[in-house]
Amino acid sequence: MSRSLIITLSIVGVLLLFGIGSCNYVKNTYNDLVAKDEVVKAKWGNVQSQYQRRSDLIPNLVATVKGAANFEKSTLEAVTDARARATSIQVDPTKLTPETIQKFQASQGQLTSALSRLLVASENYPDLKANKNFGDLQAEIEGTENRITVARMDFNDAVLQFNTAVRSFPANLIASRSGFAEKGSFSAEPDAQKAPKVQF
């Protein structure tokens, strides 16, 4: 076998290996992006589930508070209106853009504020504070707020991993050609220098 034939075969072999390796890299990178995307969707489902749980508790809380004599009507209406606005915003898990997450967070933040005002106002009603049903609902809402915080943190972690993969070279070349784009995440609330707290 001539030397030039050996060199040619060697070059062809290297090119074949590079081509196969390149195909494997593309396949593995694409599959990794799909897996990270699915984790984000699952974490988003957990976020929505916890917000829905809170939303489901509110009508019972409002009904219990209505039983208190002279309770501020405007406070109850604010909670009811905020709940209606928050539940009207549905986010498609395949479209978790920064804009949609920001819109969702803003509506939920308004509900959180209205709910906090209701619970603070309830401090002025000793009979209401002594009501077992009201106390149970307060405890459930407090637990749900904690679960919301955990679900949001888990979601943000998953989004961070996904966005890092989408932006990293050379995976970003595969991501851009495959329709993977950066996702939005929850940001700190404007007054989040201190941990959010619902007063009971």
* Model pLDDT, residue 22: 67
What is each CA distance from 33 to 25, 49, 62, 68, 112, in whole angstroms?
A: 12, 24, 44, 53, 34
* Model pLDDT, residue 12: 46
pLDDT averaged per 10 residues in sequence order, the chain, 200 residues: 60 48 77 96 97 95 83 89 94 94 95 92 85 91 95 98 94 88 88 47
For 184, which DSSP code? Answer: -
With 0-12 CB in 10 A as exposed, 13-18 as middle and 19+ as buried, what is 36?
buried
Entry pTM = 0.81
With 0-12 CB in 10 A as exposed, 13-18 as middle and 19+ as buried, what is 96?
buried
Domains and CATH numbers, the chain: 35-178 (1.20.120)
Average pLDDT of every residue of the chain: 85
* Model pLDDT, residue 196: 46
pLDDT digits (tens, 9 = 90+) for 51-107: 999 999 999 999 988 877 678 888 899 999 999 999 999 999 999 999 999 999 999
